Amino acid sequence: MARPVRRERGEAGMVTAETAVVLPVLLLVLVGAVAAVTVVGAQLRCVDAAREGARAAARGEDAATVAGWAAAAAPDGARTAMTTTDAEVRVVVTVEVAPLGPLPWRVTVSAEAVGQREPGAGPAG
């Protein structure tokens, strides 16, 4: 005759307890991943905006046009700075990102692009 299986009383809710401990950790990891993707996305948009601005400046466009091209590719609220010399142009795009939405944590991302002035591009500046 088979003996009845005895269960320990202390193991009755272990799966529920383990889930209750692990779930907040998984949620925290998910929030961190979303924040990282947000920051990286803003960084890539700043890189694209700086490149667009540098191309426009290298062609000899004025500062307003360069800022317009950069603003079209940049994240909302980005700032564009341009410096020129006789040989090259430099465009820097900077933005402050809130990766966690309404929470008060902010990250500043920036990108810089340098381009050679094209021959006959017009005066520097």
The 3 state secondary structure assigned to 38-81 is HHHHHHHHHHHHHHHHHHHHHCCCCHHHHHHHHHHHCCCCCEEE
pLDDT, tens digit (0-9, with 9 covering 90-100), for 18-35: 888 889 999 999 999 999
Mean pLDDT over the full length of the chain: 88
DSSP 3-state of 124? coil
Residue 7 in domain: no
Structural domain for 77, as ranges:
24-116
Residue 19 in domain: no
pTM above 0.85, yes or no: no
Residue 38 in domain: yes
Q: How many domains does the chain have?
A: 1
- Greater pLDDT, 25 or 15: 25
